[in-house]
């Protein structure tokens, strides 16, 4: 006997698929921004006090950076004003 997917299941699967696509797009953007600035994965990781593995996972769309780190990334890449002192203190980033 086959089970039919409920409307809730279908919506959940669609949203999950959309989220995964967005992560990939975000990853491509982050990688492009980093390359555009001429920075290496090592330099970004050292500046943000995270591992190179984390940076690579964000750029591949496997994970999403935390909001505070994301703001710091945008600042490093020249796409945002300096993050507020609160974000920098929370993340331990010195910019």
pLDDT of residue 50: 94
The model's confidence at residue 71, banded by pLDDT at 50, 70 and 90, is confident
Tens-place pLDDT, residues 11-53: 665 666 677 788 888 888 889 889 988 999 999 999 999 999 9
> Does 87 have pLDDT greater than 50?
no
pLDDT of residue 52: 97
pLDDT of residue 2: 41
What pTM was estimated for this model as a whole?
0.69
pLDDT of residue 17: 64
Helix/strand/coil (H/E/C) assignment for every residue in the chain:
CCCCCCHHHHHHHHHHHHHHHHHHHHHHHHHHHHHHHCCCHHHHHHHHCCCHHHHHHHHHCCCCCCHHHHHHHHHHCCCCCCCCHHHHHHHCCCC
């Amino acid at each position: 006997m086959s089970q039919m997917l409920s409307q809730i299941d279908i919506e959940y699967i669609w949203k999950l698929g959309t989220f995964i696509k967005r992560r990939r797009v975000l990853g491509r953007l982050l990688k492009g921004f980093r390359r555009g600035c001429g920075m290496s994965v090592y330099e970004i990781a050292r500046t943000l006090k995270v591992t190179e593995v984390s940076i690579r996972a964000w750029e591949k769309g496997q994970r999403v950076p935390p909001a505070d780190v994301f703001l710091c990334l945008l600042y490093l890449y020249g796409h945002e004003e300096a993050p507020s002192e609160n974000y920098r203190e929370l993340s331990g980033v010195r910019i």
